[in-house]
Amino acid sequence: MKTTKLALASATCMISLGLLAPTAAHAAPAPFTESQPTVEPTVAAEQPASTASLPIAAGDYWVSSYFGPRVPSSLGSGTFHDAIDLAADDGVSIYAIADGVVSRVVEPSGATGAGIIVVEHGTHDGKVLEALYAHMWEPSKHVTVGDRVVAGQQIAEVGASGIANGPHLHLKVMLDGVDVDPLPVLEALGLDVLGGASYVRPHTAAPELATSMHSHGRLAVRASADFASDLVTVLAPNSSYSVRTGPGTNGFAEVVLADGATGWAWIGNIGSDYYALDTPPTVDEAQVGASERTAGTQWRMPDGATRYLRDLPSYVPGENDVLVLADSGHTLVATGRTFPGGWEEFTINGVIGWLVSNITMTAIEDEPTDPEQPTDPEQPTDPEQPTDPEQPTDPDEPTDPDEPTDPEEPTDPEEPTDSNGPVTPEEPPAPVEPEQPVVTDVKKGAVTGDPLSGSNAGLLGLGALLLAGAGAAAAALIRRRIEA
């Protein structure tokens, strides 16, 4: 086993951490000094119990960042640092700061997930003391969950997994689950972290408002510190803005835009005050495929499901800000585009983005596009224009046949009228049997019986008149001859 010189506090300055049961508060040990002796353990398990150890051997690290508000130095580094950073060469050994039990081991994942080891180190001032060691490449190489470790035992090597500018140990200390400044606690354990460093970066208070920040991808600015809140705006890549330093709220930091407007942005997507991107991230169109959902079709997620609609189809901070927190209450309009990894492009409330669509969605069908326009063919499209044929189309124009269509319209002077309305025409004379001769009243000059039609009766009447006239002329000629 590789041996490393460790700067340890003397036995008289060691305190009990109460690993198995809480103990009363202990007096703080004398501070560590370089003049105190060092020991060289050959087997970590053989070290005495209830000791304390620097997390990295003295002289092998330098202090690069402190606990508290800070100006983000890199994408996703945040506006508040919950630990102390000890920069060291990649592969340098990391040691347990005290006796304890390993409670968590997290392997690195992607570009943002750091390797993590969490050790419960008993109690301190009556509170459960936990230490989180982060950024290792292989956190499970030396320990696993449930392992008991002792102070000074190697548990990992320095790495740069997750969000990191370079290899370093991110050491976070928690008391009853609350993040606290590690330096006072380590000092109470007899560990002089600053004294053991080869270099200590000056600790200057961060300004309340960090200016000259730059967005990497599109930065979603919301009305409140919640992914479900409304968007104030979406900044284009390389837009300038300011951010308020500090722990933020619910994982969001307050930002101040160039026009003075304020909003909230997810801390993981807060950019850097050092540089802007020469080439903002975009979708690799060569990898875009066709979706089984037709562009323009509408879909709904099942109850209880949520998905983040992101800027780009990736999980890299700054390149995939959450634009909408979608749930079953949102209508998703498909664009017909997909991307490897289960990503699919949708539009929600006019915002276009990508989400992982590995859930069963229901197509929205047979819903009227406008609830004020009924689609029932039995219902009129306009309540002021009835379509019932039994109803008049205009109440001012009655269709009753017993009523005149327009009382102001003059009647035809050639038509007989009555003060009570139009006169009903007389019934035509009854037809005469065909066997009976047609009898003509010469005095009246009309046909009294016509078996055919009105026109034929007129002709017959005319012939009777002509015969009567011829007879009268013959009688007059006979009288003249007699008188002569």
Question: Are 190 and 29 spatial neighbours (Cβ–Cβ below 8 Å)?
Answer: yes
Q: Which two tokens stand for residue 400?
A: 């009753």
pLDDT of amino acid 121: 96
Helix (H, G, I), strand (E, B) or coil at 446: strand
Mean pLDDT across the chain:
74
Q: Please tell me the least confidently modeled range out of 163-172, 327-336, 343-352, 371-380.
A: 371-380
How confident is the model over 2-43, as pLDDT tens digits? 333 333 332 223 222 222 222 222 223 333 222 323 333 333
Spatial contact of 354 and 315, defined as CB atoms under 8 Å apart: no
Task: Assign 164 a pLDDT band (cuts: 50, 70, 90).
Answer: confident
Q: What is the average per-residue pLDDT within 298-306? A: 93
- And the tokens for 410? 């003059």
Distance CA 70, CA 475 (A): 147
Query: Does residue 279 surpass a pLDDT of 70?
Result: yes
Q: Model confidence at 93, in pLDDT bands (50, 70, 90)?
A: very high
- For residue 421, is pLDDT > 60? no
Q: Indicate the burial class of 95 (C-beta count within 10 angstroms; 0-12, 13-18, 19 or more).
A: buried
Is 458 or 90 the better-scoring residue by pLDDT? 90
Q: Looking at 60-64, 228-232, 332-336, 449-453, which range is the least confident one?
A: 449-453
The better pLDDT of the pair 78, 389 is held by 78
The verdict on pTM exceeding 0.85 is no
The pLDDT assigned to 358 comes to 87
Within 8 A by CB and 6+ apart from 388, the residues are none
Give residue 318's pLDDT band: very low, low, confident or very high (50, 70, 90). Answer: low
Fold of the 209-269 domain: SH3 type barrels. (2.30.30)
Domain map of the chain by residue range? 11-188, 209-269, 288-407, 440-483
The angle subtended at Cα 66 by Cα 127 and Cα 210, nearest 5°, is 120
Report whether pLDDT(100) > 80: yes
Q: Give the per-residue pLDDT at 270.
A: 85
Average pLDDT over residues 180-185: 97
pLDDT at 120 over 80: yes
Q: In what order do the strands lie in the sheet with 262-266?
A: 209-214, 240-244, 252-256, 262-266, 219-222, 231-235
Mean pLDDT of the region 395-407: 43
Instruction: Kindly indicate the confidence band of residue 273, based on its pLDDT and cuts at 50, 70 and 90.
Output: low
The 10s digit of each residue's pLDDT in 123-140 is 999 999 999 999 999 999
pLDDT digits (tens, 9 = 90+) for 214-244: 887 788 999 999 988 989 998 888 888 999 9
pLDDT at 282: 84
User: Is residue 334's pLDDT more than 70?
Assistant: yes
Confirm whether 11-188 and 209-269 share one CATH topology: no
Task: Identify the pLDDT of residue 365.
Answer: 80
DSSP state at residue 286: G
- Looking at domain 11-188, its CATH superfamily turns out to be Glucose Permease (Domain IIA) (2.70.70.10)
Pick from 161-175, 181-195, 209-223, 332-346: least confident: 209-223
The residue with greater pLDDT, 274 or 347, is 347
Question: Strands (DSSP E) along 44-141, which ranges?
Answer: 62-65, 68-69, 80-81, 84-87, 93-95, 100-106, 115-124, 127-136
Residue 152 banded pLDDT, cuts 50, 70, 90: very high
Residue 401 — very low, low, confident or very high, per pLDDT cuts 50/70/90? Answer: very low
Task: Report the range out of 181-185, 328-332, 348-352, 457-461 with the highest average pLDDT.
Answer: 181-185
Lowest mean pLDDT among 76-80, 87-91, 278-282, 370-374: 370-374
Q: What is the pLDDT of residues 34-85, one digit of tens each?
A: 232 333 333 333 333 358 999 999 999 999 999 999 988 777 778 999 999 9
Mean pLDDT of 447-451: 39
pLDDT above 80 (res 405) = no
CA–CA distances in Å: residue 329 to residues 223, 297, 366 = 20, 16, 17
